[in-house]
Amino acid sequence: MHFPGMPAPLARVVEMFSTLPGVGPKTAMRLGLNLLTRPAGDAAALATALQLLHEQVGFCECCGCFAEQGHCHFCDDPLRDAATLCVVEQPVDVLMMERGHGYRGCYHVLLGRLSPVDGIGPEQLRFAALDRRLAAGGIDEMILATSATVDGEATAHYLANRYRDAGITVSRISRGVPEGGELEYLDEHTLSRAVDQRVAWQRRAGV
Amino acid sequence: MHFPGMPAPLARVVEMFSTLPGVGPKTAMRLGLNLLTRPAGDAAALATALQLLHEQVGFCECCGCFAEQGHCHFCDDPLRDAATLCVVEQPVDVLMMERGHGYRGCYHVLLGRLSPVDGIGPEQLRFAALDRRLAAGGIDEMILATSATVDGEATAHYLANRYRDAGITVSRISRGVPEGGELEYLDEHTLSRAVDQRVAWQRRAGV
């Protein structure tokens, strides 16, 4: 999107913004203009925050979660249940899990999922680190929380197979109707799986 | 939007992003995570561009357009027609006008529009600078390109009245059906104005 007479410093900001996901040229322009018309301190504060982002945030060597200055929020926490390990694809998945407030175990982030088409095999993911954690002992259950996509499901099956003889319980997060979901708007695969994996609430006498 | 375990530097970026127009907490999170998972140079480049935005972009003292280091793209251009002045509300309106490629005159940016409700009267806008430009002479026509809102229309009427005796032509940008507009989807005000302000294409003989 070219605007004749647009100052180059504004054009650079707009160009950078438009590389972000879901931000088209028009939105990028609106964001750039917004920062230009607000007090100079606002753009400077965002600039500083962005500068520090990569300097201060890394990945935990043990679990692969986001880590600030080497310290991971979860591996360091003595109140978390170290015997339960939830395996996810990305650090953001950990943040999503934590929003639920229910899970109190530890995590292992693969930093991706198996995808032969994209050349991503076990070597490209954090399986070696997972092997070491299991070999170190103390883990009773591994919860497979990879995504409910074809690749995510394949990754879960690979994990179950890889640790078949590790002497641990391996479980997969349930599939079904999402909270608040109305049957009218569900896709047929979700609905048929929800019926297949129905949970018994009462059993008739004698069964 | 609170994510337990989210590193503070990421939270700061997300918080800053969510102050931008049209960016909610979820979008801000997506933007922050995107920059965190991309090469560090990308966030740094955006940081630098933002840092330079206010340092390098200001407003032209003469016309009020965006100006880089005091120089305005339009006032400095000898090829622009200095006898025609287009009055707009904001610097961004100038960029929009220039996208059309048709206008070759100069601009005057009011930096707002009259809005008694918000306490914005003639003193708060760049009318004094406009008085000086007209007093300096050489201007034949003033095109009122304020917005087609109640306040924009009031500002246009105020301008027409203020320069009634300035010995210049005062014109207002036309109103009507936008390019590509289908009558089915137009509001009734636009359509009735388009009929009122219809343009004669042929006149019957004798009229």
Q: Among residues of chain A, what percentage have pLDDT more than 70?
A: 98
CA–CA separation, B192 and B197 (whole Å): 9
Rounded to a whole number, what is the distance in Å from the CA of B113 to chain A's nearest CA?
Answer: 15
Comparing B191 with A151, the larger pLDDT belongs to: A151
- CA distances, A4 to each of A8, A15, B94 (Å): 10, 15, 9
Using CB atoms, which residue from B16, B57, B73 is nearest to A46?
Answer: B16
Q: Which residues contact A59 (CB under 8 A, 6 or more apart)?
A: A65, A66, A67, A91, A109, A111
pLDDT at A43: 94
pLDDT at A2: 65
Residue with token string 């990879």: A146
Rounded to a whole number, what is the distance in Å from the CA of B12 to chain A's nearest CA?
Answer: 6
Backbone region of residue A72 per phi and psi (left: phi > 0; alpha: psi in -120 to 50; beta: other values): beta
CB-based contact (8 Å) between A11 and chain B? no
CA–CA separation, A99 and B5 (whole Å): 9
Residue with token string 């109305």: A182
- Indicate the pLDDT class of residue A195, thresholds 50, 70 and 90: confident
Instruction: Count CA atoms within 13 Å of residue A70 on its CB side.
Output: 0
CA–CA separation, B39 and A49 (whole Å): 16
pLDDT at A1: 60
pLDDT at A117: 92
Q: Which amino acid is at B35?
A: L
CATH number of B81-201: 3.40.1360.10
Mean pLDDT of A136-157: 93
Could you name the CATH architecture of B8-55?
Answer: Orthogonal Bundle (1.10)
- In tens, the pLDDT along A38-50 reads 899 999 999 999 9
Q: Which of B48, B67, B47 is nearest to B56 (CA)?
A: B67
Q: Closest-CA residue in chain B for A96?
A: B3
The answer to whether B54 contacts A74, with C-beta atoms less than 8 Å apart, is no
Rounded to a whole number, what is the distance in Å from the CA of B127 to chain A's nearest CA?
Answer: 20
CATH number of A8-57: 1.10.8.420
Both structure tokens of A95: 């943040």
Q: Are B159 and B169 in contact (CB under 8 A)?
A: no
Which residues lie across from A81 on neighbouring strands? A105
pLDDT at B189: 85
Both structure tokens of A62: 């043990």
Alpha helical stretches, state H, chain A? 8-17, 25-37, 40-56, 91-99, 127-135, 150-162, 188-196
pLDDT at A122: 93
Q: Burial of A56 by CB count in 10 Å (0-12 exposed, 13-18 middle, 19+ buried)?
A: middle
- CA distances, A74 to each of A57, A62, A107, A126 (Å): 15, 10, 8, 17
What's the whole-number average pLDDT of chain A? 89
pLDDT at B37: 85
In tens digits, chain B (207 residues) has pLDDT values of 667 778 889 999 999 999 999 999 989 999 998 999 889 999 999 999 999 999 999 888 889 998 887 768 888 889 999 999 999 999 888 988 888 778 999 999 999 999 999 999 999 999 999 999 999 999 999 999 999 999 999 999 999 999 999 999 999 998 888 888 888 888 888 888 888 888 888 888 776
- CA distances, A31 to each of A17, A28, A107, B19, B159 (Å): 8, 5, 36, 10, 31
Q: What is the DSSP letter of B200?
A: P
CB-based contact (8 Å) between A49 and chain B? yes
Which residues lie across from A87 on neighbouring strands? A108, A144
Q: Closest-CA residue in chain B for A10?
A: B53
Strand order in the sheet with A71-72: A57-59, A66-68, A71-72
pLDDT at B203: 81
pLDDT at A206: 74
- In tens, the pLDDT along A15-34 reads 999 999 999 998 999 999 99
- Indicate the pLDDT class of residue A207, thresholds 50, 70 and 90: low
Domain spanning A66-172, CATH class: alpha beta
pLDDT at B207: 63
Instruction: Tell me the CA end-to-end span of chain B in Å, nearest whole number.
Output: 69
pLDDT at B47: 95
Q: What is the DSSP letter of A177?
A: P
Using CB atoms, which residue from B27, B67, B92 is nearest to A22?
Answer: B27
Domain-by-domain residue ranges, chain B? Answer: 8-55, 81-201
